[in-house]
Structure formats: structure tokens, C-alpha cells
Chain A
Amino acid sequence: MKISTLFYTFRQGFKNIWRNKWFSLASVATIAACLFLFGLFFAIVANFSHIVKTAEEGVSIAVFFHDDNDLCEKQGHEHVEGEVPSSQRIEEIGKMIAARSEVSEVKFISDDEAWATFGPNYLGEDYDLGYLENPLKGMNSYEVFLSDVSMQGTLVHWLESIPEVRKINYSEVTASTLSGVNLLIAYISIGIIVVLLAVSVFLISNTVTIGISVRKEEINIMKYIGATDFFVRSPFVLEGIIIGLIGAAIPLAVIYKLYLYAMEFLTEKFTVLSNFLNFLPVEEVFHYLLPISLILGVGIGFLGSFTTVRKHLHV
């Protein structure tokens, strides 16, 4: 392709937008409306996911080991038969737990640390009055955090098979609720995104089809004179890409402003919520939304014009 032809294509692409300004405006508005809905939904889902993920990260399993009989009696809990692990073995088990794929973090809680946390929480500031030694002595444990809360059952099952493990504290309800919510969000978002995209493609291709059908005559003339498909199609495709780009940029700008405003509003007006609702910063939402929207806008513009022009090229 000659450079003059390339410039001609660019000039024609821009001129076409201006010449057919009402069609261009309708196309931009349709793309913008569809991508606005998509963006809005994406931002909401991203925040829901983030909130659930944060909650998931807080879910932990406590793993306790067998201690000797004397200690059990002193501490007043029932002794369970099993191997009493050495500190070396406890360390080894810790490494084994950490190596599991469903585990994100393992924290060793020594008996002293446990008493220092438990005492003030349940007995007040003077918790150690009346105790000559740590009543939780020998109750070393691991606090295990999961990378995927739905795998809690698998991990618990595995932990139970370790002979030195006496007791595992975990909440089945929390884990199943969280993984259920997660799954629900995934299904709903996939469903809504598919519907939104289908509606967008339908609306946009209709707008583009109407716009280009009006110019069917122009395409026919070009073909009769001997223009190649590429020569005829290029300005239309360029026009589609520009319209798609503008159609994506407008809702992105609106959503950006709206998101900032909504965050400010919710944090100011609902301070109670802000304690447990951790919203995603706008940059993080746009880290994905920006490229997705631009690709969708440009892609829809490109494909819409490309396929619609193709219908008229067989002259």
C-alpha cells in the first residue's frame, strides 16, 4: 500500500465520521451506554469479590498437638491418646502444612503467646494474677490461613491424619458460606456479563448495519470502479475503531468520576460500613476495567464495521 493511499484512508475515515455525524453519534451513544452498564457492573462485582476475598483471608484453622497427660489434668481438659510431638516434629509439621497449595500462611503460636493473647481478652488486664505459671503450657498450636476457603475440608481431612494432631478448630459454616457467596458472585457476574455483551453486540451491530446500509450505494460505486475490498473497507473499519474508542472512553471517564464520588459518599455517610466494607481503590478497578473496555469498544467497532461492509462487497 502506498503511503498516499494510507493517508487517504485515514482522511476518509475521519471525514466519514463527520459526514455521517448522526450515525456516528448514535453509534458512540450505543457503545457508550453498553460499556457504561458493563463498567458499572464490573466495578460492583470487583468490590463484592474484594470484600469476600478479604473475609476469606481472615478465616483460619487452629491446629493443636497432643501434650503429656500431666498437663492435661492440670489444664482440666480430657486427655486424648496420641503421640506427643517433640518441638522438632512440630516444626516439621509446620513446614508440611505450609507446603500445601491451599495454605497461604502458617503462624506458630507458642503456649506463651497464646496465654498473652487469651488472658487479656477473656480475663482482663490482671489476667495473670493467681497464676504461678502459664496455664496453657504445652499448648503450642498453628494458625493456618487458607488461599482458597473452599479447600478447608480437604485440609482438615489431611490434618486429621497426622497422629500428633489432637484437635483442629475451624468453622465449617463460615467457610461454606464464603465459598458459596464466591461461587454465586462468579455465576451472576458471568451471566450478566454474557447478557450485557450479547445485548451490546446486537445493539451496536444493528446501529452499524443501519449506518453502513445507508452507504451501500457508495460501496457499490467504489466496487464498480474497481476498488479492492481492502480499499473500500479500510475507511469504514477505521471509522468503526474511532467510534468504538470514543464510545469506550466516555463511560470510562464517567465511571471514574462516579466511583470516586460513590466511595467518598459511602465512607462519609455510612461510617459504620467502612469498618468492615473494604472498597477497592479506583486505580485497582481501572487496572482491569480500562483495558477491557477499550478492547471491547475497539473490538466491537472493528468487527461491526468489518462484517457489515463485507456484506456489501460482493458486487
Chain B
Amino acid sequence: MSKRKEMQIKKRQEMVEKNGIIYLDNVSKSYSTGSPALNGVTVSIMPGEFVFIVGDSGSGKSTMIRLLLRELTATSGHVYVMGNDLAKLRHGKIPKFRRNLGVVFQDFRLLNDRNVYENVAFAQRIIEKSAKDIRKNVPTILATVGLAGKYKAKTTELSGGEKQRVALARALVNRPSILLADEPTGNLDPKNSWDIMHLLEEINEAGTTVVVVTHNREIVNAMHKRVITMKKGVVVSDQQEGGYIDED
């Protein structure tokens, strides 16, 4: 490894130790029309934390996730993820960066023309894992999310809860440092919602930083995790072991 690269890694590690694995430093994001989606947001999330981000529609939660994924860039301020200043990340480096992030969406976003196994294996293929590794890793992660017996099933034959488990397995198979979940229980019934949240908790206990954007008041109040509440693009509260704050 070159000396320059070693220095870069060291600098990133220092940044993570000092400011957290996710650090938004006075971040604002404006779209061409309307008021800013984020307005001077400063948030720091340390490695291994479990954080809920809550707020009404239009509060800026999804914009924050899109900034963390480097789908968007901040209008002002800095977004650091794993010590990387995302504004300085070139287009060609984004895929490699995203491989350290697991991401789960409300609408699952599975490849519906492929079965369960292929959906999860796909995440391994893009990082050019060998066929032998894929054959070993995919069944292991499917067993972790409780889908060992359904690896051949088509995604269209699965229930909402099962689809979200597949999405989780896909997000986790490459062992990411951070898991971002955007409304992961939004399309699920209470039982499946709790199953997914328990899985996320287990994943967090294994060392992965978990950030969950949600509207689910019951889950947020019951889990006693850190809760960041947003309103109109601003962080209005940040509580350790907090609950869902009524904004009215």
C-alpha cells in the first residue's frame, strides 16, 4: 500500500473517531424550487450506534438518507461517511463507497425477475466475489434472516415481511459498516414490523451502525434507542433512549 493511501486511511480513521462514522456538519440542501429540504443540520453518529430518524413527511429525513448514499450532494456544509467527505467523492468512486453501506427501502426494491438466492447473490457479484464464496455466503445470510428454506422462491411469491428480509439479506451480505433503512416497516403488518426491527437490533448488536428512518411511533417508543427528530429540514430534538415526539 502506498504511503499516500496509508495517510488517507489514517485520516479517515481519525475523522471517524473524532466526529463519528456519520457526520453532517451544518448541512443544507436546497432543490431548485421551494424551501430548503435541510437547513443547517449537524448530526454525529458514532460507530455501532442504533439511531432512529423521525419526522413528518417533508421534514428532510429522506433527503438526509439520499445525501448519505451520495445520491445527492449538499448545497452547503459537509457530509462525512466513514471519514469520506462525500462532496469530494468522484463519480467513479461512488460504487466502492456504497459497498460499505447496506440500504433497505420501504418498497423493498428487489429484482423481481430473479429468485431470492439470485437477489442476494447479486450484491456479491458486483463486488466480484468468487462463485465459491457466493455459494457459501448467500445461504448463511439467508439463514440469518430466516429465509433458508425459501432461496429458490420468486420474489413475487413472497409476503411483504419476507421481501424485506430478502432486502436485508442483500444489504448485509457484503458486511457493511452502516445499514441505512428508509421506512423498513412502512409496508408491513405489526408482527412483520417487529420481526424486522428485532433483526435490525441483532445486526446492530453484531457491530453494524444502524440508521432507521421511520414513522412508526410504537416501535420508536418501545425500543429506547437514540431518536433524532426533524421538522422542516431542521433537527428539533436529539435524545439518547428517546421516544417519538409529537410535533404539534
Least CB distance from A84 to B in Å reads 83
Interface size on A, residues (CB 8 A): 20
Partner-contacting stretch, out of B27-35, B52-60, B96-104, B215-223: B96-104
Question: Chain B 107-137 against A: per-residue CB contact (8 Å), 1 yes, 0 no?
Answer: 0011101000000001101111011000000
Least CB distance from B167 to A in Å reads 10
Known interface pairs A2-B128, A4-B130, A222-B126; A227-B95 also in contact (CB < 8 Å): yes
Question: Chain A 204-242 against B: per-residue CB contact (8 Å), 1 yes, 0 no?
Answer: 000000000000011011111111110100000000000
Complex Cα distance, B110 from A222, in Å, reads 10
A224 contacts B109, C-beta separation under 8 Å: yes
Residues of B within 8 A of A315 (CB): 71
A225 contacts B126, C-beta separation under 8 Å: yes
Chain A interface, >50% SS class? helix
Complex Cα distance, B122 from A12, in Å, reads 11
Residues of A within 8 A of B125 (CB): 5, 8
Extra 7 A-B pairs, beta carbons < 8 Å, given A225-B122, A227-B126: A2-B128, A4-B130, A218-B111, A221-B111, A224-B103, A226-B99, A226-B101
Complex Cα distance, B88 from A199, in Å, reads 42
Contact of B98 among A4, A8, A224 (CB under 8 A): A224
Known interface pairs A4-B131, A315-B71; A228-B126 also in contact (CB < 8 Å): yes
Smallest CB-CB A-B distances: 9 pairs? A226-B99, A226-B98, A227-B126, A228-B95, A226-B95, A221-B109, A2-B128, A225-B123, A19-B113
Known interface pairs A5-B128, A225-B126, A226-B126; A220-B109 also in contact (CB < 8 Å): yes
Residues of B within 8 A of A220 (CB): 109
Complex Cα distance, B101 from A50, in Å, reads 65
Indicate whether B87 reaches chain A with its CB closer than 8 angstroms. Answer: no
Indicate whether B69 reaches chain A with its CB closer than 8 angstroms. Answer: yes
In the complex, the chain A residue whose C-beta lies closest to that of B66 is A315
Least CB distance from B64 to A in Å reads 16
Least CB distance from B247 to A in Å reads 29
In the complex, the chain A residue whose C-beta lies closest to that of B129 is A4
Complex Cα distance, B101 from A226, in Å, reads 9
Indicate whether B170 reaches chain A with its CB closer than 8 angstroms. Answer: yes
Interface centre among A220, A225, A227 (most CB of B within 10 A): A225
Complex Cα distance, B123 from A228, in Å, reads 12
Q: List 26 A-B contacts (CB under 8 A).
A: A2-B128, A4-B128, A4-B130, A5-B125, A8-B125, A218-B111, A220-B109, A221-B110, A221-B111, A222-B122, A222-B126, A223-B95, A223-B98, A225-B103, A225-B126, A225-B170, A226-B97, A226-B98, A226-B99, A226-B174, A227-B95, A227-B126, A228-B92, A228-B95, A229-B95, A314-B91
In the complex, which residues 144-181 of chain B have their Cβ closer than 8 Å to any Cβ of chain A? 170, 174
Complex Cα distance, B67 from A190, in Å, reads 51
Residues of B within 8 A of A225 (CB): 98-99, 103, 122-123, 126, 170
Complex Cα distance, B90 from A314, in Å, reads 12
Residues of A within 8 A of B99 (CB): 225-226
Complex Cα distance, B69 from A314, in Å, reads 12
Residues of B within 8 A of A2 (CB): 128
In the complex, the chain B residue whose C-beta lies closest to that of A8 is B125
Residues of B within 8 A of A217 (CB): 109
Residues of A within 8 A of B128 (CB): 2, 4-5
Complex Cα distance, B123 from A231, in Å, reads 12
Complex Cα distance, B103 from A315, in Å, reads 14
In the complex, the chain A residue whose C-beta lies closest to that of B113 is A19
In the complex, which residues 84-105 of chain A have their Cβ closer than 8 Å to any Cβ of chain B? none
A224 contacts B111, C-beta separation under 8 Å: no
Residues of B within 8 A of A4 (CB): 128, 130-131
Complex Cα distance, B125 from A4, in Å, reads 9
Complex Cα distance, B98 from A225, in Å, reads 6
Complex Cα distance, B130 from A314, in Å, reads 28
Residues of A within 8 A of B71 (CB): 315
